[in-house]
Amino acid sequence: MVFSSITFLFYFLPVVLIIYYIMPNKYKNLVLLIASFIFYFFGEPKYILLMAFSIAIAYIFGRLICKYQKTKYSKIFLIIAITIIVGLLAYFKYANFIIKNINLLLNNKIDFINIALPIGISFYTFQIISYLVDVYKGQAKEQKNILKLAMYISLFPQLIAGPIVRYTSIQDQIDNRTHTVEKFALGVRRFIIGLSKKVLLANVLGELATTFLKSNDISVLYCLIYAISITLQIYFDFSGYSDMAIGLGKMFGFEFLENFNYPYIAKSITEFWRRWHISLSTWFRDYLYIPLGGNRTSKLKWLRNIIIVWLLTGLWHGAEWNFIIWGLYFGIFLIIEKLFLGKHLENFPKIVSHIYVLIVVIISFLIFNSEGITKIMQSRNMPFISQEAIYYLKSYIIVILIGIVSATPLLKNIITSTKLKKLSNTLEPIVLVVLMLTCTSYIVDGSFNPFLYFRF
């Protein structure tokens, strides 16, 4: 079940909200836990036991780590727990990838394992690891109530595709969170904005990208249109989902941290990753990069640390070589910036720095979506312009321009400006209703509606 579906929007969510708000406060967490398990069961019934097992491991070893705090056993229990949790992720996500590469390397014929990737396993695995590590370090209190811990790990707004919500950021909210009309309204607003990003921009741009992949009339212009559309699609697809998750969190009284902050306006790749998928980049920084020594070590080890982090960042996104190359690609640019390019970027005109970042990022998402770059690389003697490229440019130019503008804070700055603030406050409810009705019409119509991060 995805957020941009009729089942979720008009059946699941309204029922859960009604039950949640009529229940006394002491039962609200239980309502969310049951709702989250139903939500997960709807999309992945056979793996509900896997998630329950992971929750049990987190609970049992969290208690043991805390019980034996400041003894050698605490660290042993932490290592055992992480080994089990990461082992499950490795088996379900990477087993067939490993078999495939062994077969290619050694010319073997080992049979693939008949398994599907459990939805959201990458996200809830990282949440469990952060919980256990923070308990070990004394930065988080152990959760003695298994139902509350289960609610945190399985919480449906962020279960499928994040953001990666750390236990430390919401541990106090589990028992003490506020429910106000204002917060609920802000949640609805944020959800509708995220849904609009997903349905009206990401899905439409995704249709354009898919059309390119099926085309036999390839040209340089068409490749450029595809590159821009896939770059915008990935951003609006994932940031739209994060907006919906944050909005849903507010509806249930939670405050989730931001996950995107207009990454395409960055002036360096370093800044880009401070703005893109913030919960993932900070997770790797805090739980891998810094423990490895960060930059407070020799230059050789520091370079090793960056390569390890970005190799695993790529691998986290998927069990294919294009994701590994994508991660290492960013790692190399980050190393180059840290060694010498970064200080020069500060002196470049802003437009030059922006163009540099956009070129690097667009190429990265061509690598990320390997089908497209394969098609481009296999095309020979392509003309600069083709009739199909001109046709689809005319058909989608408005959506592309809206996407480009919406990927910057320009509209937000105009709307929140002092002169227009009163007018925008008056028109906002009308605009939100129109957006919701438009999104609904697209969904009912059965329009193109994939979700790129659904299987992460």
Alpha carbon of 437 to those of 3, 67, 216, 407: distances in Å?
15, 53, 36, 22
The angle that helices 350-368 and 220-251 make with each other, rounded to 10 degrees, is 90
CB atoms within 10 A of CB 278: 19
Distance between CA 206 and CA 229 in Å, rounded?
A: 7
List Cα–Cα distances, 277 to 123, 163, 188, 274, 431, in angstroms.
12, 8, 22, 8, 28
Q: Is 317 a catalytic residue?
A: yes
408 contacts: CB under 8 Å, gap ≥ 6: 262, 264, 265
Q: Name 292's Cβ contacts closer than 8 Å, sequence gap at least 6.
A: 301, 304, 305, 308, 309
The whole-angstrom separation of Cα 87 and Cα 285 is 21
Cβ atoms of residues 98 and 105 within 8 Å:
no
State which amino acid sits at residue 38: I
Q: Which of 179, 277, 317, 354 is catalytic?
A: 317
Residues ≥6 apart with Cβ < 8 Å to 354: 265, 266, 267
Residue 118 Cα distances to 4, 53, 91, 152, 194, angstroms: 20, 13, 11, 18, 24
Residues composing the chain:
456
Q: DSSP string spanning 81-132?
A: HHHHHHHHHHHHHHHHHHHHHHHHHHT--PPPP---PPTTHHHHHHHHHHHH
Q: Tokens 């009284």 label which residue?
A: 253
Task: Give the burial string for 67-92 (b: 16+ CB within 10 Å, else e).
Answer: eeeeeeebeebbeebbebbeebbbeb
Catalytic site positions: 317
